[in-house]
Amino acid sequence: MNDPAARVRIFDTSLRDGEQSPGCSMTAAQKLRFAHALAELGVDALEAGFPASSDADRDAVRAIAREVRGSTVATLARCHEGDIDACAAALEGAAHPRIHVFISTSPLHREHKLGLSREQVVERAVMGVSRARRLVDDVEFSAEDALRTEPEFLAEICSAAIAAGATTLNIPDTVGYTTPSEIRALFEYLRANVRDADRAVFSAHCHNDLGLAVANSLAAIEGGARQVECTINGIGERAGNCALEELVMALRVRSHYYGAHTRIDSRRLVPTSRLLSRITGMAVQRNKAVVGQNAFAHESGIHQHGMLKHRGTYEIMRPEDVGWSQSQMVMGRHSGRAALADRLQALGFQLEEAALNRTFAAFKTLAEKKREVFDADLEALVLGSDAVAHRGWRLSRLHVSTGAGGEADTMPTASVQLHGADGETVSEAAVGDGPVHALFAALARATGIELDVDSYQVSSVTTGDDAQGQAQVIARVDGVEVTGSGTSTDILEASAHAWLDIANRQSRARAPAVHRHAAIA
Ligand code: KIV
Ligand code: ZN
């Protein structure tokens, strides 16, 4: 590589490219919490959203721009005046704002999506970049579907974007089509053929349709990319984006080979990954590199023997360096408020007084039920108490009975009592094919909300027979997939919380704007 001490900037797009994928939607408050976690992780830039796409996205970007410090806050816009102005308005108050404009450049997209000639596409790109540049100093230009674009046309539009004021040129493999040697050669070609190439940072944005997103991003770095766009846990459109944790650890573990480094605090990788999967309810596969539960598990006798002699025999990185804590057992029922605050801080949660009080009360209740409270339990508590802080239905009583045999007296039955946002109390009961079916029917009767449930699953938060259960419900609301999650030592109670999580999101989304703003604050 030309530059032996190359610094690669990490641009996280979990809140934009990631969040727009099925099962990953987040509320504005959840986005804000996650944006803080990304800044603590040390990302150079975080893409907070696409303000012109919805009021909710605009509000979330505003809150992030006002509060998050330490990382550039970027927002996405098509090359349309309205989109670009919406970005600038949403970014007000940001310490380091960036507007990211994009337009499709491949022949397929030019003809079938845009109906524009090459010249018209360049003209729009120049308009978009120049307008953004009049509003902020930091402008990124993306050539959508770049990897299926004629290289000489790509060089032409990138040259025009630099002349119009772009400071970062992003080359997306929008459909995950490229291969490592091809993308490396393309970056080398662009760096040699784009006019004034040294005035901009070249960036890779790889999708994972062929499972090559990380490999392709690493190859792009070999070709001269100095920014990589990625997401935590690799979430994103279809098969996802380049997984941040994998890319960062590949650069670190193979630093002599790549000669490149990032400013990511790798010990925050596992907590950030876990935070995202708790917020979205999207579990990380056990054998996922770096952040999966099995990533450092050694089961075979031969491997265990080797590990006992020397860890390096079967481990290329240390679990603690990516944030797996050595000892998972942290708290018990005698632990105090200050110890809880300390441990939460180590897990990346800085709670204000009211939130800490809510979490401490929930911790005491949990510690009465469970002998050992693990980090994962604490994370679930914080996120659970966030949900309680929001307006909406809360479960105050639950009774479920079940049986087999098909007689009336063995029919699964559930009764619930809920408190509403306006102080009302509602009680309802229902029967069903099974206890969960009966429970969801009782909740629907009590709230008057019908959910079209697509999937339902329960997993355990930690190990042991007193582990908390985490329930995840995915439902379709107005054609959009929404995920709800709930945690409790009782899996039926966890299931009720997960169902209510979606119902409350649905009510908030339909509430007048003033209530939505209140939820962000
Ligand atoms: O995949 C893609 O092309 C994108 C652009 C909007 C950057 O996400
Ligand atoms: Zn993308």
The pocket of ion ligand 2, defined by CB under 5 A, consists of 17
Is pLDDT above 80 for 401? yes
Lowest-confidence region among 6-20, 137-151, 176-190, 281-295: 281-295
Calculate mean pLDDT across residues 242-262.
Answer: 97
Closest CA to 400 of 445, 365, 430, 420: 430
Q: Going by DSSP bridges, is the β-strand pair 413-419/394-401 parallel, antiparallel, or unpaired?
A: antiparallel
Judge if the beta carbon of residue 18 lies within 6 A of ligand 1: no
- Which stretch of 134-148, 151-165, 367-381, 506-520 has the lowest confidence by average pLDDT? 506-520
Distance of CA 150 to the CA centre of its chain: 33
Annotate 164-180 with b (16+ C-beta within 10 A) or e (fewer).
bbbbbbbbbbbbbbbeb
Answer yes or no: is 233 a known binding residue: no
- Is 17 annotated as belonging to a binding site? yes
Q: Ligand 1 pocket: which of 11, 144, 157, 228 to mutate (most atoms <8 Å of CB)?
A: 144
Nearest by Cα to 111 from 82, 148, 164: 148
Which of the two residues, 346 and 13, has the higher pLDDT score?
13
| Cβ of residue 17 lying under 6 Å from some atom of ligand 1 | yes
Segment holding 521, helix H or strand E: none
| pLDDT at residue 388, rounded to an integer | 53
Distances (CA, A) of 469 to 26, 380, 443, 463: 21, 10, 19, 10
CB neighbourhood size of 134 (10 A)? 11
Cβ atoms of 306 and 358 within 8 Å: the answer is no
Q: Residue 235 is encoded by which pair of tokens?
A: 């979430």
For residue 102, the ligand 1 atom closest to its alpha carbon is 6
Q: Which is the closest atom of ligand 1 to the Cα of 207? A: 1
Q: For residues 30-35, give the mean pLDDT.
A: 94
Q: How many whole angstroms separate alpha carbon 429 and alpha carbon 415?
A: 4
Domain extents in the chain: 4-280, 297-389, 394-506
pLDDT tens-place string over residues 381-392? 887 666 555 568
| Ligand 1, pocket-test mutation among 21, 106, 114, 174, most atoms within 8 A of CB | 174
What's the fold here for domain 4-280? TIM Barrel (3.20.20)
Is 437 labelled as part of a ligand binding site?
Answer: no
Statement: residue 303 has pLDDT above 80: no
105 lines ligand 1 (CB under 6 A): no
Residue percentage of the chain with pLDDT more than 90: 61
Local confidence band at 212 (pLDDT 50, 70, 90 cut-offs): very high
> How far is the C-alpha of 206 from the C-alpha of 221, rounded, in Å?
12
- Residue 25 banded pLDDT, cuts 50, 70, 90: confident
Tell me: pLDDT of 119 over 60. yes
The answer to whether 482 and 504 are in contact (CB under 8 A) is no
* Any atom of ligand 1 within 6 Å of the Cβ of 141: no
Rounded average pLDDT over 437-456:
91
Give the pTM: 0.80
Tell me the C-alpha distance between 364 and 383, whole Å.
16
DSSP state of 96: S
Confidence band for 423, pLDDT divided at 50, 70 and 90: confident
| Residue 499 CA to ligand 1 centre (angstroms) | 33
Sign of CA dihedral 213, 215, 216, 221: positive
pLDDT-based confidence at residue 468 (cuts at 50, 70, 90): confident
The residue-averaged pLDDT of 449-477 equals 82
Q: Is the pLDDT of residue 67 over 90?
A: yes
Q: What integer pLDDT is reported at residue 138 of this predicted model?
A: 98
Q: Examine the pLDDT at 214 and tell me if it is beyond 70.
A: yes
Q: What is the DSSP letter of 62?
A: H
Q: Which ligand has the nearest atom to the CA of 237?
A: 2
Q: Which atom of ligand 1 is nearest to the CA of 237?
A: 1
Q: What local confidence, expressed as pLDDT, does residue 474 receive? A: 86
**Whether pLDDT at 460 is above 70:** yes
Does pLDDT of 2 surpass 50?
A: no
Which of 17, 168, 178, 237 has most ligand 1 atoms within 8 Å of CB, for mutation? 17
Q: How far apart are CA 52 and CA 82, in angstroms?
A: 8
Shortest-distance atom of ligand 1 to CA 172: 3
For the ranges 209-213, 306-310, 395-399, the lowest mean pLDDT is seen at 306-310
3 pLDDT band, cuts 50/70/90, is low
pLDDT (0 to 100) of residue 125: 98
Pocket test for ligand 1, best of 102, 183, 208 (most atoms within 8 A of CB): 102
Q: From the CB of 173, is ligand 1 less than 6 Å away?
A: no
Top-tier CATH class for 394-506: alpha beta
Mean pLDDT taken over the chain: 89
Question: Ligand 1 centroid to 172 CA: how many Å?
Answer: 6
Residue predicted with more confidence, 348 or 364? 364
Q: Is the pLDDT of residue 232 over 70?
A: yes
Rounded CA gap, 246 and 211, in Å?
A: 13
Share of the chain above pLDDT 70, in %: 93
Of residues 328 and 381, more confidence is placed in 381
153 or 393: which leads in pLDDT: 153
Give the pLDDT score at 512.
47
Q: Kindly state the average pLDDT of the residues 407-428.
A: 88
Which tens digits make up the pLDDT trace of 257-297? 999 999 999 999 999 999 998 888 788 998 999 999 889 88
Q: Secondary structure of 280-330 in the HEC alphabet?
A: HCCCCCCCCCCCCCCCCCCCCHHHHHHHHHCHHHCCCCCHHHHCCCCCCEE
